[in-house]
Amino acid sequence: MAQIKIGIVGLGNMGMTYAKALLAGLIPAARLTTICVNGTVKAEKASGEFDKSVQCFGDYHDFLLSNQFEAVIIATPNQTHVTMATAALQADKHILLEKPVSLDIREGYDLVSLAENQKLTFAVMHHLRFNPQFQKLKDLLASQEIGEINRIHWDNLRYFRAQAYYRSSSWTGTWQKDGGGVLMNQAIHELDLLHFLFGEPTALLAYTRFGAYRDVEIDTESTLILTYPNGASATFVT
């Protein structure tokens, strides 16, 4: 079976998770060939951590020009996503992008259009959709085996972030670099599941608090009330 050659940009928590999974052979159809980090010092350090079969770059432009991979996983800080994804698509690379797609919804739509025009695969990592439990629930809802759903209540408490989390890096908890708080960065996975399972709402009312319980400027708590085409209602608390 032919393997897709993969390049990874960023070796933080998520980038390293992807790298370890690929190197351990957990994705038989893919092979890690290239890594890009920020700067030559980090690239030299990464070279010592990986097998010689994995080429390491400290410059993103050189990384894209290397032609050592067909698809790229972008796992870098939020504010870099659009620029890096645009360059990768223009370099004819398929993309798996960490959430969020962008800090501006218009730029997100522009990326989708570019990928479609280039006839390239462009996906965002919303991993919970692939959980067998949620796949089964999706089937049950679609077949209405458990009847029509009229009311939904969703408590999302799993993505707690202490103040130390926001102190851990210079870009978290800021509008300029993080782009948003609990809704965009943590609850985005649960919101994606809500959409995956129940579809597009016709109306949404949100009560959101900014900096509640934390010394940050972004949203840290939100309650949503949603209405669906069949009249069903939902509350989502995070």
Other Cβ atoms less than 10 A from the Cβ of 45: the count is 14
pLDDT band of residue 230 (cuts 50, 70, 90) is very high
pLDDT band of residue 169 (cuts 50, 70, 90) is confident
Percent of all residues in the chain with a pLDDT value above 90, rounded to a whole number: 77
pLDDT of residue 159: 80
Range in 25-39, 47-61, 64-78 the model is least confident about:
47-61
pLDDT beyond 90 at 81: yes
pLDDT of residue 191: 95
Percent of all residues in the chain with a pLDDT value above 70, rounded to a whole number: 100
pLDDT beyond 80 at 221: yes
**Unique residue bearing structure tokens 């989502």:** 236
Instruction: Show the DSSP H helices in 144-233 as ranges.
Output: 163-167, 188-198
Per-residue tokens: 76: 């870098």
**Unique residue bearing structure tokens 């993103």:** 60
Q: Comparing 158 with 75, which gets the higher pLDDT?
A: 75
pLDDT beyond 90 at 178: no
pLDDT of residue 41: 86
pLDDT of residue 176: 86
Kind of pairing between the strands at 203-210 and 219-227? antiparallel
Render pLDDT for 183-211 as a digit per residue (tens, 0 to 9).
988 899 999 999 999 999 999 999 999 99
pLDDT of residue 1: 63
Q: At what angle do helices 132-143 and 188-198 cross, to 10 degrees?
A: 30
Mean pLDDT of 225-230: 96
- Map out the domains of the chain with their CATH numbers: 4-125 (3.40.50.720), 133-237 (3.30.360.10)
pLDDT of residue 49: 85
Render pLDDT for 116-133 as a digit per residue (tens, 0 to 9).
999 999 999 999 999 999
Amino acid (one-letter) located at 177: K
pLDDT of residue 83: 96
Q: Comparing 46 with 108, which gets the higher pLDDT?
A: 108
Per-residue tokens: 152: 């939904």
